[in-house]
A = this chain, B = another copy of it.
Amino acid sequence: MAGNTFGNLFKVSTFGESHGKAIGGVIDGCPAGIELDVAAIQNELDRRKPGQSAIVTQRKEPDEVEFFSGLFEGKTTGTPIGFAIHNTNQKSHDYTHIKDSYRPSHADYVYDQKYGFRDYRGGGRSSARETASRVVAGAIAKQFLQGIEINAFVSQVGNMRLDKSYNELDLSLTESNPVRCPDPETAAKMESYIKEVRKEGDTIGGVITCVAKNVPVGLGEPVFDKLHAELGKAMLSINAVKGFEYGSGFEGVKMKGSDHNDKFNSDGTTQTNYSGGIQGGISNGMDIYFNIAFKPVATVIQGYETIDKEGNKVQAQGKGRHDPCVVPRAVPIVEAMTALVLADYMLLNRTIKK
């Protein structure tokens, strides 16, 4: 309720600030008897971690997860899975320059107003570092969701937009480049562009597309907890996200009903998929796909003017090692949140028939 828990039946509660001792969480409701591949979990963390390529922040954090409970002889026990990722590279002195001023378009100002109090060491709780805990939980959810494939990839950086639908792409190429765009040619252009932007001391936004295949028919709860509503919330809860659309999305508003309606095949599948795999808030067995808009990272290395706590104008400058573009590292986070949503609905779906 205070906002640090996601899910109902497959539920994760996270804790931790960017410059505290550790971040971590508790996963409650993960079914018993799942053989956990811990290396696969660590692999997801590695996809998210800083320092993995030349176009992301050069901070070094090993981001190793330590499990405290919920596992026995390699399997989940049905009891809560407690875990932590220790912060090894806190460098809080990097942040003394911002102790007394609010960074524009960061959460500094609103945290101070909301809590009457501010942890000025980096973003504190508002830092995207928290999402490492989500990646752990999502990686476990993925293992529960055996058979369902979830693949996210970068489909836009700044004005550079991938002009192919996910159907026309070989998604196995996503990890072949540091941008995580499955079209190698476009990926190369995006990479150059991101480097250019970084050289300017600036940042740029992007779009991630996510596809979930083999989702069974029937996930999603009318009327408030529609599947896409919960997916939308999950994505919008990721740092820097400004928009979510699924299926035909914002383009679909221009279409007429006679074109937009997905005609049935005799097996219940549809000939087109403007619906994005969801009708009336419930999965229909077709591919679920959606786009997520990420704004440019707020921390720019250029100098800027801002205010201090008393409202005085001050000159400031971004320091530290930041991402020039957030989308490459956000790909595993998007997949993790998708897995968490689907796992929750899979469990809920077991309860609905006589």
Contacts and interface: CB of A to CB of B under 8 A. Distances in A.
12 contacts: A3-B225, A4-B79, A20-B69, A32-B354, A104-B262, A126-B280, A205-B255, A206-B253, A207-B253, A232-B233, A242-B246, A264-B307
B260 A105 contact: yes
Interface in A1-45: 1-6, 8-9, 11, 13-17, 20-26, 28-29, 31-34
A186 B308 CA distance: 44
Copies in the complex: 4
A225 to B, nearest CB: 4
Looking at chain A, what size class is its interface with the partner chain?
35 or more
B295 A3 contact: no
Interface stretch (A49-57, A167-175, A177-185, A344-352): A344-352
A243 B249 contact: yes
Given A22-B68, A110-B217, A252-B295, A33 B115 contact: yes
Given A218-B110, A312-B266, A244 B236 contact: yes
Contact of A116 (B32, B221, B232, B347): B32
A164 interface: no
Contact of A351 (B130, B262, B350): B350
B9 A2 contact: yes
A81 interface: yes
B205 A223 contact: no
Contacts of A124: 72, 77, 79
A134 to B, nearest CB: 9
A96 interface: no
A106 B261 CA distance: 9
Interface string A306-325: 11000111000000000000
Contact of A9 (B114, B261, B351): B351
A302 B247 CA distance: 23
B249 A68 contact: no
A62 interface: no
A291 B243 CA distance: 9
Interface centre among A79, A110, A222, A223 (most CB of B within 10 A): A223
Contacts of A233: 224, 229-230, 232-233, 236
A75 to B, nearest CB: 7
Contacts of A230: 233
